[in-house]
């Protein structure tokens, strides 16, 4: 198809504003899916996505729509809404010329609406504003349109009012996309340049590459080269998603589709790479993507040490479809061999853990999440550390710098006090306050990243009765009075349980951590002391009582010394057991340390 009859767009919105439902209606209106095959959130085909009701992976689909007697090819990329999957949104927008900004007509502009809109504006995309859920009794489209103009500076005077659930106004959205969003500017006769924007692993067909043709044309049987990795493959199958894979044998400039070539090695494909013809003139590479900025780090260890290689293979497979995940091998005295993984946020970490357990049948122990710190060594050298265990002795470094995030919080006016209280408890620094409308306000704070992942989001949700939404981005590293909080179980330092905290919070965090540990670690045959320490000073202690067998049960009457002898013998045994016995720390205990305040 000629590029002038093609439109590529993404749907961007906050969580639960109806992206996947609108995608369903577009598939229905264009007749891409038969009525009997239709189901809610059709593009969310991952088990976890359907279970949680959220989009985790961006999905591409091609539909056809007629306007004024002309047939147009519309390529839609459905994107996630959660802040942790911002990288997926950014990648998708690079394969598009426009975006549909979807705003809930009752909830209004939320934190993630603002963040995703700015991503689209920075990518110079044409934005089509759509107000969804106008069928709700408390919908207020006029107020929300004003809110969009005030907070985003986007003209919403002609915003389309639709209901993605009932299908009202959806054909008008397709017409508006054709009118407003520019056609791809690529040259079908030029040198082939295609952007890899995603990839998935299929057990039977190898790696399926998702690509957007920017210039030129690609046909089956042609030999291609990946400019980044230098690998050469033959195009065995080419096609588009409509929404199932449909073979087309050819992809031209402006089109979005898939490419199969029996690629078995996971390292052969890199998301963001450029594909071109082999043994022809080499074009300039496409800009690709900036590397993902990892916010949170956690270690994964297999419960059974023999599963280490299986865990490595599982992580390599996941990295292919989730390019924002990063991992490297680590060892721990307590837990053996494992991997330190970098994530974009806590939800991202949770999703990866569940995918490893479900899709790859692994039993894992996960350590408490931490953030990246920078330390200035005595000689002035700057180093990055991803876990408290990597922190050298205090005499080796001069100061610790912690990451600071700029947090944008959207709340109804009546919850400003609650948010300010929560922010003060988490060492936040107030920046500014903007009134988006008469009922809603946007607050900005600089908050240490470690405080953000500790329990800030949970407190925000409960303090604002679920109405508060937030978005954050990393701003800088700042020095503060930080110390390493160590946890000792039975006199042994457990690296996986240690954390870096502010000196003023060390006492309360230490007491809280060991109280929770005491509940989670089962009783053993010997007494277990659990201690929290800063440097060489023990700041808190709890003791798990030993399980005791009543050794004097058979002694009745007679001399008391017999009972004493048996009790002394038992005491000696317990002492010996404590010296050589290992304490089993369950997986729940590692996560309990992160559990925030009681």
133 is in an annotated binding site: yes
Cα distance between residue 495 and residue 489, in whole Å: 10
Of 465, 466, 463, 419, which Cα lies nearest the Cα of 445?
Answer: 419
* Total Cβ atoms within 10 A of residue 150: 16
* Total Cβ atoms within 10 A of residue 332: 17
| Length of the chain in terms of residues written | 598
3-state secondary structure 14-75: CCCCCHHHHHHHHHHHCCCCCHHHCCCCCCCCCHHHHHHCCCCCCEEEEEEEEECCEEEEEE
Say if CB 224 and CB 193 are below 8 A apart.
Answer: no
Q: Helix, strand, or coil here: 516?
A: helix
Beta strand pairing status for 397-412 and 440-448?
antiparallel
135 is in an annotated binding site: yes
Say if CB 313 and CB 201 are below 8 A apart.
Answer: no
16 is in an annotated binding site: yes
Angular region, 40: left φ>0, alpha ψ -120 to 50, beta rest: beta
19 is in an annotated binding site: yes
Say if CB 530 and CB 544 are below 8 A apart.
Answer: yes
Q: Helix, strand, or coil here: 336?
A: strand
466 is in an annotated binding site: no
Cα distance between residue 41 and residue 44, in whole Å: 5
134 is in an annotated binding site: yes
Cα distance between residue 494 and residue 332, in whole Å: 9
284 is in an annotated binding site: no
Where are any strands of DSSP class E within 527-571?
528-534, 537-544
Of 274, 271, 286, 376, which Cα lies nearest the Cα of 326?
Answer: 271
Cα–Cα distances in Å, from 214 out to 178, 282, 415?
19, 14, 48
Q: Which residue has the tokens 């005499």?
A: 395
* DSSP string covering 92-159: HHTT-SEEEEEEETTT---HHHHHHHHHHHHTT-EEEEEEE-TTSTT--HHHHHHHHHHHH----TTP
Cα distance between residue 486 and residue 397, in whole Å: 18
Taking the CA of residue 227 as centre, how many other CA atoms within 13 Å lie in the half-sphere pointing to its CB? 20
Say if CB 10 and CB 99 are below 8 A apart.
Answer: yes
Cα distance between residue 198 and residue 60, in whole Å: 10
Q: What six digits make up the tokens of 559?
A: 């001399």
Cα distance between residue 246 and residue 516, in whole Å: 54
Positions at the binding site: 16-21, 132-135
Positions at the binding site for GTP: 16-21, 132-135
């Amino acid at each position: 198809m000629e590029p002038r009859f093609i439109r590529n767009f993404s749907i961007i919105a906050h969580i639960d504003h109806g992206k996947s439902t609108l995608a369903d209606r577009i598939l229905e209106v264009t007749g891409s899916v038969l009525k009997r095959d239709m189901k809610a959130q059709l593009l969310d085909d991952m088990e976890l996505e359907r279970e949680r009701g959220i989009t985790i992976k961006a999905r591409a689909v091609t539909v056809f729509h007629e306007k004024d007697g002309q047939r147009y090819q519309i390529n839609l990329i459905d994107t996630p809404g959660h802040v942790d999957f911002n990288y997926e949104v950014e990648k998708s927008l690079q394969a598009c010329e426009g975006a549909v900004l979807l705003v809930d007509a009752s909830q209004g502009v939320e934190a993630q609406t603002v963040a995703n809109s700015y991503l689209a504006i920075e990518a110079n995309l044409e934005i089509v504003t759509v107000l969804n859920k106008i069928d709700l009794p408390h919908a207020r489209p006029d107020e929300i349109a004003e809110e969009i103009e005030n907070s985003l500076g986007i003209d919403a005077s002609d915003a389309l009012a639709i209901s993605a659930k009932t299908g009202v106004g959806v054909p008008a959205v397709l017409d508006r996309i054709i009118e407003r969003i520019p056609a791809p500017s690529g040259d079908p006769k030029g040198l082939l340049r295609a952007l890899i924007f995603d990839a998935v692993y299929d057990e039977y067909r190898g790696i399926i590459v998702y690509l957007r043709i920017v210039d030129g044309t690609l046909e089956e049987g042609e030999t291609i080269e990946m400019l980044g990795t230098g690998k050469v493959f033959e195009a065995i199958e080419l096609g588009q998603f409509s929404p199932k894979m449909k073979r087309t044998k050819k992809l031209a400039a402006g089109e979005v589709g898939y490419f199969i070539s029996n690629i078995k090695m996971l390292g052969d494909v890199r998301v963001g790479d450029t594909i071109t013809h082999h043994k022809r003139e080499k074009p300039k590479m496409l800009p690709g993507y900036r590397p993902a900025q990892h916010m949170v780090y956690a270690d994964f260890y297999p419960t059974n040490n023999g599963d280490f290689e299986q865990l490595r293979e599982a992580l390599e497979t996941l990295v292919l479809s989730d390019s924002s995940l990063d991992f490297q091998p680590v060892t721990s005295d307590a837990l053996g061999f494992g991997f330190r993984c970098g994530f974009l946020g806590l939800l991202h970490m949770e999703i990866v853990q569940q995918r490893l357990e479900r899709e790859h049948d692994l039993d894992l122990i996960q350590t408490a999440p931490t953030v990246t710190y920078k330390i200035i060594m005595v000689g002035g050298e700057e180093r990055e550390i991803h876990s408290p265990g990597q922190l050298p002795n205090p005499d080796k470094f001069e100061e610790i710098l912690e990451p600071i995030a700029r947090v944008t919080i959207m709340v109804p006016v009546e919850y400003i006090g609650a948010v300010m209280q929560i922010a003060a408890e988490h060492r936040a620094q107030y920046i500014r306050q903007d009134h988006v409308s008469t009922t809603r306000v946007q607050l900005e704070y600089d908050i240490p990243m470690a405080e953000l992942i500790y329990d800030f989001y949970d407190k925000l949700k409960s303090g604002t009765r679920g109405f508060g939404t937030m978005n954050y981005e990393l701003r800088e590293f700042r020095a503060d009075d930080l110390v390493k909080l160590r946890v000792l179980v039975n006199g042994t330092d457990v690296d996986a349980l240690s954390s870096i905290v502010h000196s003023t919070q060390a006492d309360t965090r230490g007491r809280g951590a060991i109280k929770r540990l005491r509940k989670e670690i089962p009783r053993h045959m010997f007494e277990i002391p659990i201690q929290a320490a800063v440097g060489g000073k023990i700041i808190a202690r709890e003791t798990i009582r030993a399980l005791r067998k009543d050794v004097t049960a058979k002694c009745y009457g007679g001399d008391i010394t017999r009972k004493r002898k048996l009790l002394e013998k038992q005491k000696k045994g317990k002492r010996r057991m404590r010296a050589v016995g290992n304490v089993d720390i369950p997986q729940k205990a590692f996560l309990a340390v992160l559990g925030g305040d009681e």
